[in-house]
Amino acid sequence: MLSFLSVPAIASAQFGLEHVISNISVANVNTQTSCLLGNSQMRSSRGGSCGLYGWGLEIALALSPDTAKVQYQFALGYGHIYGFNARQPNMDVHGVMRLAPEVSFYATRSLTKLVSPYIGLHTGLVTLNDVQVYATPGDTAYNFSANTLQLGATVGLSLPYNFYIDAGYRYRDFQSLQWHLPKGTLPPGWPKSLIMSAVQFTAGIQFDVGGITGKKK
């Protein structure tokens, strides 16, 4: 009896998933660079606040008809950010900041066939996982992990040949670092929390996947 009752529920869930997939309109890949704000305990590995770099992937779900003057999209993304180190002179940091997932909402205004401005709002989980830290001078290895909820906003332009560029702000406040301490104590001056808010610049290319997922033009 239970198996019989579960059939409509499974069918309904499958139909719902197929409906969502059929509305996926675009996928994109991007590259990015960013500048940490002055209140961050981190800096670029190259020195200064600017020079963090990374890449990302994103799929977007269409929320409005293709004929609408303003196109709304819901998107899920994944990204890596590299190239940061500590401002603290006795810390040598090696790690990756992961965005998994980044949830975004976009509104695009269709002005001409060449250029379409858009705005975006972003949130999602940001993770620093097993970041390696070496005490200098010397080679004593420490590591830490942390995660936080990111908030941000973007303004950008869609360009010919499916390219796009944008600039935005990301607020990231890691309020608690989980340190692994080989000597039992945290060296003096090392942070117990991190602010890694940044101004971010992104360039990428979109791919129309409507024909694959069943999204009609």
6 in a structural domain: no
If one counts the domains in the chain, the total is 1
Mean pLDDT of 98-127: 94
pTM for the structure as a whole? 0.84
202 in a structural domain: yes
49 in a structural domain: yes
Could you tell me the pLDDT band of residue 2, with boundaries at 50, 70 and 90? Answer: very low
CATH of the domain at 192: 2.40.160.20
**149-165 residues labelled b (16+ CB within 10 A) or e (exposed):** ebebebebbbeeeeebe
Q: pLDDT digits over 61-83, tens only?
A: 999 988 899 999 999 999 999 99
Could you tell me the pLDDT band of residue 42, with boundaries at 50, 70 and 90? Answer: very high
133 in a structural domain: yes
| Owning domain of residue 63 | 26-210
Q: Which residues pair with 61 in a beta bridge?
A: 24, 74
> Quick count: other Cβ atoms within 10 Å of Cβ 99?
21
Give 187's DSSP letter: P
18 in a structural domain: no
CB 135 within 8 A of CB 91: yes
pLDDT at 161 over 80: yes
Give the whole-angstrom CA distance, residue 147 versus residue 124.
10
Residue 31 identity (one-letter amino acid): T
Give the whole-angstrom CA distance, residue 73 versus residue 65.
10
Give me the pLDDT at residue 23, please.
Answer: 67
> Quick count: other Cβ atoms within 10 Å of Cβ 182?
9
Cis upstream peptide for 188 (omega within 30°)? no
16, 58, 105, 159 from 165: Cα distances, Å: 33, 14, 16, 8
